Structures are given as structure tokens and as C-alpha cells.
Structure 1
């Protein structure tokens, strides 16, 4: 129950009747009320941190601050540049090596979702439901959107792609904002997760997480090329049937691995449009993939390494239970995972042992650590940007 409250439930605009919306709002209020009920089960306390011998050294390379960052403002990396947005409506692009500011721009309105970044343009969605594209010269263009957006736009191939909360998908010209095509909403679920979903490109295929499926789409026309199911709906209530693809996708070549919220983790061949495997799993954050493993964090904070070939469990780490862990990041021989107390934990990719712990400002790590060139970067909800160089 607590997991659902933290993931924030929402009814997609335009996707349901007014009575269904009222029911969805009532249901969401009931979830919150039940979660806060004194007679209900208490939230488990985070596992106390044990002393760590730093077997992998990492020195702080640079530090910056950008202002308060909302949970949906996921940082974006392109090459050696890092794009960040704060809740007030300001965008900053940093150099990954030294932390110098390359450029800043202001949208003039608070942001709701982002960041999409292709090295030149930054795309975000405002709280007023406008898609805004900025460059070093300022706002390039704006477009009104018909539905709320929780997933960062994707800027690629001279286009901006937007996955809306009603599960519709749209494409715009990146230079001028002209609409190119729109794939209408697929499905009519009254509730969707108000957290970042999945939108990426593999070769010349746009891949979107729609419900519990990965869908391959022609970026020029919006035509569906393939459709594979990672997680299926189950349960008797609308909350139990939520299976949206969430967070980061793990990628190894043409293989994409994903998590379907509270249902499964699985991998697909994006070139062939073929499902490779799925395994039942309960979690709400994205995954990381390598040639050998898929790394994932379960709802209770258990960290898993699964065999990339077939999904069998390789190792489990349970020393970080109930710490509200972020999506994992593979960097070098380690796996970096953030928590709600502002720590970045480094785990050995070989066996999951904890080999170092890095501290920030004490606020939650947004989305998860990032790799910018040879630098490990963590962004906090308080707006701190911390960059380390593992040695």
C-alpha cells in the first residue's frame, strides 16, 4: 500500500468519463487514507547502515546546486553533457568533466516532467501542460498537449516524442514544433502511475512502454512495428491491475530489459521484436542490463542480479532493505544505487557485496545515479549535484 502511495496514482485526462474520474479520485483518496490509518501495518524502518570498508575508492570531482528538483524531473545525459531542470522552470546544462555550466535557460513556468536532451535541445513539459523546447538561446517553441505527461520527452533524429499519461504518443518537429503524427491512446484504464515511464530509441525504432508492454514504433509514421508483453494485468482491483512499464530501460545492444510495475522484469530483442523472457518481480524502479546480468531493485529494497540470458537469479543483496532505493546504474565493476537518505551505495557487480558508500545532502536521489563520461553523478531532490570519479 505504501508503495502505491509513493508512486502517486492518477487518472488520465480525457480517458475516462466524469463518473469514472470521480471514482478514481475516491479510490486514490481511499488508498491514502488507508495508508495513514493508525491501525494499519506500519511502514518498515530502513535497515540500519553498517560500516563499509571502501574497497573501491571514489573522490568527489565537483559539486553544484540547481534548486529543488521534483521527482518527475529526471536528469538526462548526452555525450559528456548533463541536462537538469528544477521545479521552478530553469534548465542548466553542465560539463560532465569539471561541472562548468555550459548554458542556462528559463521556460517562464514550473516544470512537471522532463528532461529530454539531444546535446543541443532540452524538452520538458510544464505544469500547464505545455511541451517546451529550449536551447542556449532560450525558448525555441511551445506546444499545448491534450493530456498530462509524466515521462520525459525523447529528443532524437530531429524530432521530439511525447508519451502522455493517457498512453497516447505524439511526434513533433524539433526545430519548429510542428506536429508530425499522433498515435491515440491504447486502453482505457481509469488509473495510471504518476511516475516516469519508458521512451527510448533503438536504431531506427522508437520504443515506448505502454501499459505492461514494450511497443516498437516507426518514428516517421507512428506505425506499430512490434509489441511484446513484459507484465500482464492481474488481481481484482484497478490498483492491483496496474502494470505500467516504469523507469529506466536496461540495454545491451539490441536487447532491452524492463520492469512492469509490481508484476515482472523481462527482456526483449528490439531488432526482431521478440520477447526473450520474463520473471515475476515486485518493484517500482527501472533496471540496468549488461551482457551477463540484469540488475533490479525490489519493492522492499532487495537488490537482484538476474542472468541476462534467461532471468534466473544469480545473487541477492539484502543489506539495504526498506531504504527506498533508486534504479541501479552499472559503472565499471560496481553497481551504484541511491536511497531516500541521500546515500549512493556502490555494490560489486560480481556478487552484490557493498564496496563503498557516498554521501550527498541527505535528500532522496532523483531517479538514480548517472554516468557522464567517466564520472558518477547523483542529483538530489534538494537540487544538489554531486560528481565522483571512481578509482
Structure 2
């Protein structure tokens, strides 16, 4: 069996299992009507930003930097769009199948390809500075800090490259399970520490200078008799808030950990491949079966659970003021009340393509990139259409 199990197959099997084990009726996604009773979602601008992703699991996230939205598509077209007007202001065609990025620092723009190449461009001249070959396709967004570019390849290798030359500085490599979800979490940099969720179900903290391990934690314990039952994966990005890091794994747990030592402060059994977000009081998680949870940030106790989205594949919930926003595989954006999980608005923004990349927050707006390449800035406000 292939090392990389397609996400869609996993999700389908999981949803069928969840539906058969529940006595309540799960609402088919097409029966969920659009509404804007408690909040309004209006379009600030909408643009066609290329051909979108190749398949679910690609790490083609929109990046907001310097008043622009930077986007890459599966054919290797890199574009930048004015954040206020939605006009295209920059474009570069690589002619390579891009699957991870873009990342930007000063004048350096970095993307990863399905062929396992990390490519760095000069943002101003559009000239290639360097390219480096890795061991597997790159489906994470690279992280840049100081003289290092850090990326997690599809086979679970965490690699740091020289920002100036692209030469390899170090590689962190651990054994991987027979089956994983397609996709990886994006490595996060905090000072001299790299945090990464791995396909073996672990969260690791690695020293940026030399790649040595500071600590690692299992995000759930593998059980069961088959490779599928035992599969653990961390595809959602770890979220750093204060002195804690929050993470959730597929067929694993949602956890709060001490950032310095990796000590588990609380853990709750939850399965998610999308990830989570936090505010000052709560941790919001999209479960693998589509339900959305709010947990107490201090204890992990459940505060509310939104069941109406069960059976839909959603992105991670994203906090926007006193609301929580997520996209789904039917091209809808759903807005929840962060205090009780009530649905305030549900709007289909793409009738042909789903949304697998998390919305990006800009003030009270969100920027959303659909899987087909439609890029939109949407304004959220409480009180419906008033």
C-alpha cells in the first residue's frame, strides 16, 4: 500500500463511520442553506489567482505581506494582489508544479514543488537565486528566519537550508509510519526554536542553529491492529500563544503544552486533520467529522460543540474578533459566535470548488483562497444585513 494515503479516502471512511455510529441524522452538505441572520459577509473584492491546488494536502496558502496578498498555484504561477483593491501587482511564471508556499522575508520569495525542489527568487528582480533538491515533494509553507529557510517535506524530514545559498545546514529525520495523510503542518519559528508537527503523530521542538532536538511529544497514542487504525498524523499547524503551544492530531488529541519544555498541561481526545486556533479564553478545533469544538484554554474542558457541520470537511476555525470562521469542501464560509458556537452566517463563495486552506485574518476581514484559485477579501460584521 502507498505510503501516502489520499486525504479524501480517509475522510470518506471516517465520515461513514461517524454517521453509522450516531443515532441523529447528519445533515447532507447540500441541504445546508445559506443564511446571514446573525452576521453579514460582503465581498470587498474578488480575483482569479490562477489554477489553485493540485489536490487536497497541497500547502498553497495565501500570504499577506507589505499590503499585498501573495499566492502560488499548482502550475507555478506566483502572483501578488493589492490588499485594498484586489488588483494584480506582480507575477512570475516558474513553469514548475508548485505545492508549498509562498514564504517571504525581505526580498526573498521561497516556494516548494511537487518534484521536491525548494526554489528561492529575488522578489524585486524576479530572478532565481538558488534551488535545492529535497527527498520528497514539498507540501508545507517554508519558514524563514535569520540565515535559515526551514521546510518540512512530504516524507517527514525537517530541513534547514542556508538563506543565502540554499545549501543544507541540517536535517531532522525520524522514522515514519506506513500510512500518513497527504500534507504536512507548516513549521513555526519562535526565536531559536523550530516547532513542527510530523506525520508520525509527534510535535517536535528543534534548535534552529543545529537541528538538535529540544523535546518531542506524542499527540495521542497509536492503538489498533491495522496500519489504518494506528495511523497518527499532525497536519494542522501548531499555534503559539503566550508561553503555551496548542496542537491537535488526526486520531489523536488536542493538547496544550509548555513551550519551553514540552510538558503537557492538558490533553483531550479529539481527531482533526485541519487544526485549531485560540483566543484569550478558548481553543477552537475542527474535528475530522466536521464538528467544531470550543475548549477552555486553561483546562481543555468542553465549552460548546457545533454539530450542524457534521459530515462536512472544514478548515481550521479562525478567530475574527468575537466570531470564528471556517471554510469547507463545498465552497462555503461559515461564521460562528465564539461564545456559544451558534451559526451566524453561512455563505457559498465558490460553487465549483471547495476551500481547504485556512482563511487569513486582516483586521475584521478574511482573505480566502478557494481550491480552484478564486481569491477573495470578505468583510464580516455582526447583525446580519443591518
Q: 1:22: which partner in 2?
A: none
Greater Cα offset, 40-49 or 185-194: 40-49
Q: Which of 45, 66, 76 is 1:89 aligned to?
A: 76
For 2:19 and 2:265, the matched residues in 1 are separated by 38
- Structure 2 segments unaligned to the other structure (5+ residues): 21-25, 382-386
SS at match of 1:355: strand
- Structure 1 segments unaligned to the other structure (5+ residues): 1-8, 13-27
Q: 1:202: which partner in 2?
A: 190
- What is the CA distance between 1:350 and its match in structure 2? 0.6
Q: 1:56: which partner in 2?
A: 39
SS at match of 1:245: coil
- What is the CA distance between 1:79 and its match in structure 2? 5.9
For 1:102 and 1:10, the matched residues in 2 are separated by 41
Q: 1:390: which partner in 2?
A: 380
Q: How does 1:115-134 map to 2 (within 5 A)?
A: 115-118=102-105, 120-134=107-121
Q: Which of 57, 61, 67 is 2:50 aligned to?
A: 67
Are residues 1:369 and 2:356 paired? no
Q: 1:149: which partner in 2?
A: 138
Q: 1:262: which partner in 2?
A: 251
Are residues 1:112 and 2:99 paired? yes
Q: Give the TM-score, by structure 2 length.
A: 0.86
Q: 1:169: which partner in 2?
A: 158
**CA 1:298 to 1:193, structure 2 compared with 1: closer, same or farther past 3 Å?**
same
- What is the CA distance between 1:171 and its match in structure 2? 0.8
SS at match of 1:239: helix
Q: 2:3: which partner in 1?
A: 11
For 1:202 and 1:109, the matched residues in 2 are separated by 31
SS at match of 1:327: coil
For 2:106 and 2:356, the matched residues in 1 are separated by 21
Q: How does 1:1-391 map to 2 (within 5 A)?
A: 10-11=2-3, 45-46=28-29, 48-50=31-33, 52-70=35-53, 71=56, 72=58, 73-78=60-65, 80-118=67-105, 120-136=107-123, 137-138=125-126, 139-183=128-172, 185-210=173-198, 211-362=200-351, 363-391=353-381
**CA 1:10 to 1:119, structure 2 compared with 1: closer, same or farther past 3 Å?**
farther
Greater Cα offset, 84-93 or 97-106: 97-106
Deviations 1:305-354 (A, max 9, x none): 01111111000111222121111110111100111121111111011111
For 1:328 and 1:41, the matched residues in 2 are separated by 20
Equivalent pair of 1:154/1:162 in contact (CA under 8 Å): yes
Alignment coverage as a number of residue pairs: 363
SS at match of 2:229: coil
For 1:188 and 1:382, the matched residues in 2 are separated by 31
